[in-house]
């Protein structure tokens, strides 16, 4: 009996890896999808609308503190799967406690505090899970969008679960279910294939403070293209933060009782682009994919402005649908860029720096700016004030696009 060809064995092995990674992305994004979109309505239902932007800012603050350190640990010290497992345990336990505090009508600051500590555990998982995927895929980086698509499916499933099954638009139930999912993920990550850090072969000895906290990642900003990508990601995250926090509120104001489900239109377009992105990246320069995503972002806020101006729900739905083309087109392409153009020993830190600047600096700025802008405009409930709200975010996205055009050249080998 002849042995099975090695190519057939490799194909089955690669298929198992891709299925496993797909499931991990599915449950990873399903978790926050169960409470992130509805958080504003959950707090508003309890008379805590003034705390929405404060609670939403805890995630970005966590992104500014934890991801770089965890990325450095994965690059230089510990197995990335084991790090993820510990982070998911902390995330799950603290998330359950946070939403339980809302049920007991505890001080809103107690909720914000626990919710914020949870962010320190959860935010590093985004960069690490992408780094793990690229590590296991090896040279097959073009397969990443087809794996990442399952994260989007998980987010959509969460929206339908919240609105259609749990009926939890204003309930804490979604957050508690998410906590259980994170504990399950912790078990799964513990048994991932061993992934020793690529820098483990480096000479042993004392590490610098910059190495310990992951500050070496900032050296990537010396490269013009890297800097253009990272700064644009931060700028684009400012209006995206407002999109997540305030679009559901406008939808409900205009009569949509299933706003969490409606928001999944953005993920439908994400799936569409993720299916075709592997082919696109082989035929089109990354620069033009990134620029196209920014154009879709500008159009999205133009549609929102028209929607508030005309009181037509259709404009809002079209704008939501464009979200996936903007988000995937820019951020997933950016992850592919980093996996291909950053040396291996810095890749986890590079992915973590993207998380820190987009999910941390940019999103925090977006939440704080949008929070104050909401108080000055749309809090009145007048649609004319929503026009002003979305117009400002339209201009912000336009600035991000112009900055990218003047800084990113797209030089270097693929």
What confidence tens digit (pLDDT) does each residue in 5-45 have? 556 667 777 788 888 888 889 999 999 989 987 888 888 88
DSSP symbol at 358: I
Mean pLDDT over the full length of the chain: 83
SS3 304: helix
- Distances from the Cα of 111 to the Cα of 51, 97, 146, angstroms: 10, 8, 37
Can you read off the two tokens belonging to residue 228?
Answer: 């253009």
- Mean pLDDT of all residues in 196-212: 52
By 3-state DSSP, what share of the chain in percent is helix, strand and coil, each rounded to 5?
A: 85, 0, 15
Count of beta carbons in the 10 Å neighbourhood of residue 233: 25
Helices H / strands E in the chain, number of each: 19, 0
Residue 1 within a domain? no
- Distances from the Cα of 213 to the Cα of 76, 123, 209, 351, angstroms: 11, 15, 6, 15
Instruction: Please write the tens of the pLDDT for every residue from 356-402.
Output: 888 888 988 888 888 889 888 888 778 888 999 999 999 999 999 99
Which pLDDT score is estimated for 1? Answer: 46
Contact 159, 267 (CB under 8 A): yes
Which pLDDT score is estimated for 7? Answer: 62
Q: Is the pLDDT of residue 4 over 70?
A: no
Contact 183, 89 (CB under 8 A): yes
Instruction: Please write the tens of the pLDDT for every residue from 320-369.
Output: 999 989 998 999 999 888 888 888 777 777 877 888 888 888 988 888 88
Contact 338, 350 (CB under 8 A): yes
Residue 412 within a domain? no
Residue 2 within a domain? no
The number of folded domains in the chain is 1
Q: Is the pLDDT of residue 59 over 90?
A: no
Phi first, then psi: give them for residue 140, nearest 5 degrees. Answer: -90, 50
Please report how many Cα atoms fall inside a 13 Å half-sphere around the Cα of residue 377, on the Cβ side: 20
CATH value at residue 189: 1.20.1250.20
Contact 317, 302 (CB under 8 A): no
Separation of alpha carbons 159 and 377, rounded Å: 28
Can you read off the two tokens belonging to residue 118?
Answer: 């949870």
Structural domain including 20 reads 12-198+207-407
Residue 218 within a domain? yes
Please report how many Cα atoms fall inside a 13 Å half-sphere around the Cα of residue 101, on the Cβ side: 17
Dihedral through CA 216, CA 218, CA 222, CA 223, nearest 10? 100
CA 139 to chain centre: 24
Phi first, then psi: give them for residue 167, nearest 5 degrees. Answer: 50, 50
CA-nearest of 294, 319, 327, 326 to 403 is 294
Residue 184 within a domain? yes
Residue 3 within a domain? no
Residue 377 within a domain? yes
Separation of alpha carbons 308 and 28, rounded Å: 33
Count of beta carbons in the 10 Å neighbourhood of residue 275: 12
Separation of alpha carbons 194 and 202, rounded Å: 18
Q: Is the pLDDT of residue 232 over 80?
A: yes
Can you read off the two tokens belonging to residue 188?
Answer: 């799964």
Residue 246 within a domain? yes
The model's confidence at residue 413, banded by pLDDT at 50, 70 and 90, is: very low
- For the chain, how long is the longest CA-to-CA vector? 78
Query: Which helix (H) or strand (E) segment is 15 a member of?
Result: helix 6-33
Q: Where are the alpha helices (DSSP H) in 284-362?
A: 286-310, 313-327, 333-341, 347-355
Calculate helix-pair angle for 173-190, 80-103, nearest 10 degrees.
160
CA-nearest of 318, 38, 27 to 178 is 27
More confident residue, 327 or 124: 327
Separation of alpha carbons 354 and 67, rounded Å: 9
């Amino acid at each position: 009996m002849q042995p099975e060809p090695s190519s057939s064995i490799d194909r089955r092995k690669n298929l198992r890896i891709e299925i496993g990674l797909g499931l991990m992305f599915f449950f990873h994004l399903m978790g926050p999808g169960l409470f992130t979109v509805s958080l504003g309505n959950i707090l508003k239902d309890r008379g805590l609308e003034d705390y929405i932007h404060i609670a939403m800012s805890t995630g970005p603050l966590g992104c500014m503190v934890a991801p770089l350190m965890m990325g450095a640990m994965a690059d230089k010290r510990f197995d990335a799967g084991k790090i993820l497992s510990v982070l998911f345990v902390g995330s799950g336990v603290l998330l359950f406690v946070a939403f339980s505090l809302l049920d007991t009508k505890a001080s809103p600051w107690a909720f914000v505090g626990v919710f914020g500590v949870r962010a320190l555990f959860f935010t590093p998982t985004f960069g690490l899970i992408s780094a793990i995927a690229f590590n296991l895929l090896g040279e097959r980086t073009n397969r990443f969008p087809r794996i990442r698509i399952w994260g989007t499916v998980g987010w959509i499933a969460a929206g339908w679960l919240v609105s259609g099954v749990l009926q939890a638009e204003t309930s804490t139930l979604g957050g508690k279910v998410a906590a259980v999912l994170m504990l399950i993920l912790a078990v799964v990550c513990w048994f991932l294939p061993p992934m020793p850090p690529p820098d483990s072969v480096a000479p042993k000895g004392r590490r610098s403070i910059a190495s310990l906290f992951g500050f070496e990642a900032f050296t990537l900003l010396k490269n013009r293209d890297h800097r253009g990508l990272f700064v644009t990601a931060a700028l684009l995250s400012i209006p995206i933060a407002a999109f997540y926090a305030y679009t559901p509120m406008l939808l409900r104001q205009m009569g949509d009782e299933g706003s969490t489900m409606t928001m999944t239109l953005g993920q439908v377009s994400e799936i569409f682009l993720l299916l075709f992105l592997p082919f696109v990246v082989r035929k089109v320069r990354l620069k033009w994919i990134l620029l196209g995503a920014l154009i879709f972002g500008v159009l999205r806020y133009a549609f929102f402005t028209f929607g508030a101006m005309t009181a037509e729900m259709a404009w809002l739905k079209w704008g939501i649908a464009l979200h996936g083309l903007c988000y995937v087109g820019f951020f997933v392409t950016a992850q592919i860029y980093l996996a291909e153009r950053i040396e291996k020993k810095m890749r986890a830190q590079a992915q973590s720096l993207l998380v820190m600047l987009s999910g941390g600096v940019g999103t925090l700025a977006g939440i704080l700016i949008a929070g104050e802008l909401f108080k000055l405009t749309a809090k009145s409930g007048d649609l004319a004030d929503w026009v002003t709200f979305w117009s400002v975010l339209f201009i912000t996205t336009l600035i991000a696009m112009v900055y990218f055009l003047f800084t990113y050249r797209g030089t270097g080998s693929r």
